[in-house]
């Protein structure tokens, strides 16, 4: 009588996961208790990865619409993770750190990278400063700009123990870029979304003020008639994925200009809020954004929304045109945010209009 064999699954070739210094074999995951709630969540996720199902569900962030659940073949996660491991030279001798909520696609993919790369994944329950008690050298860590800012404020010397930081979850403005250039790690900014299983393009932070994203080998990009990005990542995106990201194609990759759904039409002149924000960022140290609000003469006028009561003078800022200069400055006590910490621009503006609009 033939012995029954366990069916091959996408993760069958991998023996387990190296988590916080101990190797846990895939068939022992159900028997392991995590050291804390975060490690328990990661172990539970690993059980899902190693089970017999061919697919897994990933939640979108909701930053550009309502959150939704996307189904991917597990082979797609392995593909995305493999490309990142190869790009950054991560191998079994590497050490990684994770301190992002596991409902983030960035966190889920970091776990997969560690599994297929065979390297250790140290975990710190998600918090603003995950390096505070760091006592080991780290090869690679994904972070948000908010986390980096917190570390700079509390323990910047902790970055001496980190080789590479991958930033996501928010734009890196000029003031922060200048600070990062003084630190030990190599800092990269990823461009991607849940639909592409994290980044398909990367930009290394250097002395250049302009961020040019270089596309990874498994991705192909183009633009539509609006000038918006189209991405095809064979094996991950089912077809061409049309986005609302305005880009400018370059020889090396592309430059991100902004979101077309944020575009302001002021007297027939199109103003990209993100370009105005780059000019304003050195002058404002609190959270802010630029948006269009209704105006009887222009249709829309450029408005600057600032979180808090910080005053700002616009006269010494070199705007490219008079249309870029905000015609109104609006102070709000608190913006509306997504679960991942991104400002919900449209909802924040709508809320202000409903309570203060003419």
Report angle CA 21, 24, 30 to the nearest 5 degrees.
135
Task: Give residue-wise pLDDT tens across range 256-303.
Answer: 999 999 999 998 899 999 999 988 988 888 889 999 999 988 899 999
Q: What is the pLDDT of residues 318-335, one digit of tens each?
A: 888 888 999 999 999 999
> Is domain 16-217 in CATH 3.90.480.20, yes or no?
no
Pick the CATH number of 263-356 from 3.40.1160.10, 3.20.20.70, 3.30.300.30, 3.30.565.10: 3.30.300.30
Query: What is the average per-residue pLDDT within 91-115?
Result: 96
Give the pLDDT score at 62: 61
Rounded Cα distance between 185 and 225, Å, is 39
**What mean pLDDT value characterizes the chain?**
91
Is the pLDDT at 207 greater than 70? The verdict is no
**Average confidence (pLDDT) over 16-39:** 93
pLDDT at 358: 52
| Beta-carbon-side half-sphere exposure of residue 273 (alpha carbons within 13 Å) | 22
Which positions ≥6 away from 229 have C-beta within 8 Å? Answer: 221, 223, 243, 245, 246, 247, 254
Determine the 3-state secondary structure of 4 from DSSP.
coil
Banded model confidence at residue 1, pLDDT cuts 50, 70, 90: very low
Q: What is the pTM of this model?
A: 0.88
Report how far apart, in Å, the C-alpha atoms of 321 and of each of 159, 257, 269, 277, 328 are.
40, 17, 10, 14, 16
List pLDDT tens digits, range 230-245.
999 999 998 999 999 9
Q: Could you tell me the residue ranges of all domains in the chain?
A: 16-217, 263-356
**Residues above pLDDT 90, as percent of the chain:** 73
Angle between helices 37-50 and 105-117 (to 10 degrees): 70
């Amino acid at each position: 009588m033939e012995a029954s064999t366990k069916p091959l699954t996408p993760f069958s070739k991998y023996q387990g996961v190296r988590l916080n210094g101990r190797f846990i074999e895939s068939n022992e995951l159900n028997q392991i208790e995590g050291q804390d709630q975060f490690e328990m969540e990661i172990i539970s996720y690993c059980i899902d990865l190693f089970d017999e199902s061919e697919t897994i569900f990933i939640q979108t962030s909701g930053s550009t619409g309502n959150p939704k659940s996307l189904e991917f073949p597990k082979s797609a996660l392995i593909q995305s993770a493999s490309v990142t491991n190869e790009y950054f030279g991560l191998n079994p001798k590497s050490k990684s750190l994770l301190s992002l909520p596991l409902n983030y696609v960035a966190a889920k993919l970091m776990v997969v990278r560690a599994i297929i790369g065979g390297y250790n994944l140290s975990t710190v329950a998600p918090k603003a400063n995950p390096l505070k008690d760091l006592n080991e050298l780290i090869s690679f860590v994904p972070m948000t700009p908010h986390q980096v800012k917190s570390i700079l404020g509390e323990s910047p010397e902790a970055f001496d123990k980190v080789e590479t930081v991958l930033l996501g979850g928010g734009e890196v403005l000029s003031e922060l870029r200048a600070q990062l250039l003084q630190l030990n790690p190599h800092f990269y900014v990823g461009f991607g979304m849940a639909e592409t299983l994290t980044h398909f393009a990367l930009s290394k932070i250097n002395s250049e003020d302009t961020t040019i994203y270089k596309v990874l080998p498994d991705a192909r990009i183009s633009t539509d008639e609006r000038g918006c990005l189209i991405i095809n990542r064979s094996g991950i995106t089912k077809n061409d994925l049309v986005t609302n990201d305005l880009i400018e194609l370059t020889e090396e990759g592309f430059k991100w200009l902004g979101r077309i759904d944020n575009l302001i039409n002021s007297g027939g002149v199109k103003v990209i809020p993100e370009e105005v924000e780059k000019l304003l960022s050195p002058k404002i140290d609190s959270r802010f954004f630029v948006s269009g609000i209704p105006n009887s003469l222009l249709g829309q006028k450029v408005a600057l929304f600032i979180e808090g009561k910080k005053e700002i003078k616009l006269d010494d800022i070199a705007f490219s045109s008079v249309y870029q200069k905000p015609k109104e400055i609006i102070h709000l006590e608190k913006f509306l945010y997504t679960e991942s910490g991104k400002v919900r621009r449209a909802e924040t503006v709508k809320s202000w209009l409903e309570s203060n609009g003419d």
